[in-house]
Amino acid sequence: MSGTGETGATGATTPTTRRTRSGTPFPSLARLAPTAFGVCLLAGCATDTAPASQMSLTVSTVTEAPVTVWFDVRQRGESGAARRGISPTPVELSPEHPSVVLPVPYERGSWLRARVAGPPDRPTGTIVGCELRATDGRVLAVDATDPFDPPTDDAYCAGAE
């Protein structure tokens, strides 16, 4: 079979009989397709062996007043190429609601890095933190800022499955 768009034979085989085009250009493919579909159903054929999943990122703070913290997520493939991520996103936290768990899209085979940053004018002693969990619940990384460091420090969590 060539890629030139040929669809089938229509030439004469004898002077008294003519072949006519069948209902499909490739009759054997018409019979094969349902069989292949059935085999794929039984065997579990898939076009993508590494589907996207979700990790979870816990963003937290220890503070005496409501505070806005920012998180962002970056992914890199084995080749170093950037993959999808999450741009800096604000999260409102308070003493009554000191943490939030966020789903983070993840492509298997990537290295995922999350950063949590508090406002640079936050009071001394305010801590921001992150915890990254795998899809099966395992903790991959935990980090928190040091309350005695400058308030511009960020917390980082990274991991891969």
CA 74, CA 161: separation in Å to the nearest integer? 15
pLDDT band of 52, cuts 50, 70, 90: low
Pairing of strands 82-93, 99-107: unpaired
Q: What is the mean pLDDT of the chain?
A: 75
Residue of higher predicted confidence among 80 and 39:
80
pLDDT of residue 39: 38
Which residues make Cβ contacts (< 8 Å) with residue 126, sequence separation at least 6?
Answer: 61, 62, 63, 64, 67, 118, 147, 151
Look up the pTM and report it. Answer: 0.64
Q: Which domains does the chain have, with CATH numbers?
A: 52-159 (2.60.60)
75-to-11, 24, 108, 117, 138 alpha-carbon distances in Å: 58, 46, 10, 18, 19
pLDDT of residue 22: 44
Residue of higher predicted confidence among 83 and 118:
118
CA 94, CA 19: separation in Å to the nearest integer? 81
